[in-house]
Each structure stands twice: as C-alpha cells, then as structure tokens.
C-alpha cells in the first residue's frame, strides 16, 4: 500500500499543478466548450451571470480531477467531459448560493455576482446551473456516476446548512468543524475523482481509492483556505482578508486560538464572532492571537495530515504521469501561498 508520508515532511515549495494542467489541457478545452454551450440561454441574464463567475479565472481544479482520473485509466470515450463540466457547474452553483448566504461582496477578485445582478439572479442562475449539471450527468447514462454526484449534491447542501448552524458558535468542536468541511467541500472533490474511475469502468477498490484521494485532498484544501483567510495576500486570494472573521465563521484557526487562549481572549472571540461587533482593529487582534497560539501553523499541519492520506490513497495505482500529477495537486493545495 505504499509508503506513509510523514506529516512533518518538508513540503516542496516549488511544486505546482503545471504537470496536471499539461496532461488535461486538450480535454479541458472540450470541458470549457461544453461549459460555455450549456450556459447558453435566450434569457441573456443567465449567460451573463454564469460568464461573470465561470470566466473569472477559477483554477477548475475539480473538473481537472475527473479528467485526470479518467485519463489515468486510459478511458477512451467522452463521458468524462460531461461529468467534468457537471462537477464545475455544481461548484459554480454553490458559489453563487454561498455568496447570497454569506452576503459576500467579492469573489475571485471581482465583485460577487449578487452585487452586480442582485441576490435574486444569484439564487436562480445557481438553480439553472444545477439543473444543467444534472442534465449533462444524465446524458452520460451511467447510473453509478449519477448516484455519486446526486449524493454529493445532497451532502454539500447539508454541509452548508450545518455551517450556518455552527457559524458564530465558538463552542464548535474540531470534529464538528471537520464534519462541515467534509460535507461542503470534500464531498465534491471526492465525487469528482470517483466519477473519473466510474466512467472508465474501474473496480470498487479503484473507485474507493479515488474517492479517498478526493475526500482528503478536499479537507486539506479547505483547511488551507481557512488559514489563508487570515494571512493571504488579498490580490492572490481574490477575496478580502478577514472575510470569515467578519462573517463570524468559526473555522479551525479560530477554534485553535479560542481553545488555547485565556478567558479574556475567549471573551474577545465570543464578542467578535457571536455578537459580530468588530471594528478594524479587531481583525488585527485576531491575527495576533493566532500568531501567539500558532493557530495557522497548526491548521496547515492538520492539512498536511490529510494531504498525506490523499497521496497514500493513490499508491495502489502503478506509477504514471497522471499519478504524479495528482500527487502534485496535493502539494499545491497544502503549499498555497500565504
């Protein structure tokens, strides 16, 4: 089952996703064409809103996982194109609805769609993209792929509601937080990988390996994302530093700083997150407390743990460019810039 990668391992700061991007480039061109053709509508508001988000330079990490997995198995059909586009539509629909729920102003470095076209358009265009995602999945005519992706859709929504409930609650445990990100983020990474194996008609063990890879990669990705919200350079982040703080989101960096802090510090966190009474200096204090308690470093250490599990899941497959590329993605996610 391969070597266990230690969580203390020094990450390779140069690793990127160039290898993956190169391997999937031709197929991703087809995915992008599919995406554009499926956002077409006589109702011009739909392609407008969709293009705002879809063409705003997201990395398309999730559909690339589907393509890379299918290619790794030598899949020769074209079902993976539609499945990958479905995965990206599910993701985009979630972003549109998230922005409404979070009342976000920015997304990927641009004004959030809801700031330009209103909450109404964000809700309804999200629904449209979800409907199109299901249409494309059905066209592939794989009931197993449909099962995995429709499960993911229900789990993602459940995770979003869970997050709504845990938000602003500093008593959230690390396990509860993990359950939220497992549902709202890791479920789609997991499904994206698994359907690549399904469309290539692989064994249950191989499907399971891709599922496990995706789940753990997704957990690592979200943990790093939550750390970046307190430390990222705004331009690279494409959103405002401190958004989570201002929205009262209780993420792992907060949980660690809260638990490790004294009563006066806990009062600060409760007041800031629960009662949402924050001013400009509060974010500075939050970041200082995280530094004091090594909350960001340890969040990243947790991310490395899941990254190691993701890498090990792939060890059942023979070495190949695609396996290496999928491993690179783990490094990329864990080492994203602060």
List of residues contacting a copy of itself (CB under 8 A): 41, 43, 45-46, 97, 100-101, 119-121, 123-125, 127-128, 130-132, 134-135, 137-138, 141, 143, 146-147, 150-151, 153-158, 160-162, 164-165
Residue 84 or 333 having the CB closest to a copy of itself:
84
Nearest distance in Å: CB 236, a copy of itself: 28
Distance in Å, CB of 231 to a copy of itself, minimum:
27
Rounded Cα gap, residues 255 and 269, in angstroms = 9
CA distances to 165, 172, 254 from 251, in Å: 13, 9, 5
Nearer to a copy of itself, 123 or 283 (CB): 123
Q: Shortest distance, CB of residue 155 to a copy of itself, whole angstroms? A: 7
Dihedral sign of CA atoms 89, 309, 18, 98 in order = positive
Rounded CA separation 22/19 (Å):
5
Identify the helix (H) or strand (E) that includes residue 111.
strand 110-111
Task: Tell me the C-alpha distance between 2 and 312, whole Å.
Answer: 7
Name the minimum Å distance from CB 188 to a copy of itself.
12
4 vs 161, beta carbon nearer a copy of itself: 161
Q: How far apart are CA 255 and CA 273, in angstroms?
A: 11
Q: How many Cβ atoms from other residues are within 10 Å of residue 260's Cβ?
A: 16
Which among 187, 190, 93, 183 has a CA at the least distance from the CA of 134?
93
Smallest gap, in angstroms, from Cβ of residue 107 to a copy of itself? 16
Q: Which tokens hold the place of 221? A: 């990705």
Q: Indicate the residue among 163 and 222 with the shorter CB distance to a copy of itself.
A: 163
Dist. CA 79–CA 77, nearest whole Å: 6
- Non-local (6+) Cβ contacts of 123 within 8 A are 96, 97, 100
Across the chain, how many H-helices and E-strands are there? 16, 2
Cβ-based nearer residue to a copy of itself, 207 or 304:
207
Per DSSP, the three-state class of 168 is coil
Cα distances from 36 to residues 31, 155, 307, in angstroms, run: 9, 27, 32
Minimal distance in Å, beta carbon 59 to a copy of itself?
Answer: 23
Specify the residue, 180 or 255, whose C-beta has the smaller distance to a copy of itself: 180
- We find the least distance from the C-beta atom of residue 150 to a copy of itself, in angstroms, to be 4
CB of 60 to a copy of itself, least distance (A): 22
Smallest distance, a copy of itself to C-beta of residue 305, A:
25
Residue closer to a copy of itself, measured from CB, 114 or 293: 114
Query: What SS3 state is found at 293?
Result: coil
Identity of the residue, 142 or 299, whose beta carbon is nearer to a copy of itself in the bound complex: 142
**Residues 295, 253: contact at Cβ < 8 Å?**
yes
Shorter beta-carbon distance to a copy of itself: residue 51 or 161: 161
24: tokens are 């999937």
């Amino acid at each position: 089952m391969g070597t266990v990668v230690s969580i203390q391992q020094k990450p390779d700061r140069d690793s990127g996703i160039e290898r993956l991007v190169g391997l999937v480039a031709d197929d991703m061109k087809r995915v992008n064409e599919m995406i554009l053709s499926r956002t077409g509508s006589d109702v011009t508001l739909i392609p407008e809103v969709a293009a705002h988000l879809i063409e705003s330079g997201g990395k398309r990490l999730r559909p690339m996982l589907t393509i890379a997995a299918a290619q790794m198995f030598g899949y020769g059909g074209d079902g993976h194109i539609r499945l990958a586009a479905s995965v990206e539509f599910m993701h985009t629909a979630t972003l549109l609805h998230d922005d409404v729920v979070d009342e976000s102003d920015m997304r990927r470095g641009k004004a959030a769609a809801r700031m330009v076209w209103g909450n109404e358009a964000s809700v309804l265009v999200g629904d449209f993209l979800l409907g199109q995602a299901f249409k494309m999945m059905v066209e592939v005519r794989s009931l197993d792929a449909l099962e995995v992706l429709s499960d993911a859709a229900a789990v993602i929504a459940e995770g979003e509601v869970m997050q709504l409930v845990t938000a602003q609650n500093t008593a959230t445990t690390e396990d509860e937080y993990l359950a939220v990100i497992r549902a709202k983020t890791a479920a789609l990474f997991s499904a994206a990988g698994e359907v690549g194996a399904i469309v290539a008609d692989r064994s249950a063990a191989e499907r399971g390996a891709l599922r496990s890879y995706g789940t753990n990669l997704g957990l690592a990705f979200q943990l790093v994302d939550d750390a970046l919200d307190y430390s990222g350079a705004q331009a690279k982040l494409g959103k405002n530093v401190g958004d989570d703080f201002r929205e009262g989101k209780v993420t792992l960096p907060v949980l660690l700083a809260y638990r490790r802090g004294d009563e006066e510090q806990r009062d600060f966190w409760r007041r800031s997150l629960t009662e949402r009474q924050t001013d400009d200096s509060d974010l500075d204090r939050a970041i200082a407390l995280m530094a004091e308690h090594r909350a960001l470093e340890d969040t990243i250490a947790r991310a490395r743990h899941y990254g190691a599990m993701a890498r090990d899941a792939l060890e059942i497959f023979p070495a190949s460019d695609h396996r290496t590329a999928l491993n690179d993605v783990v490094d990329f996610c864990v080492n994203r810039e602060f």
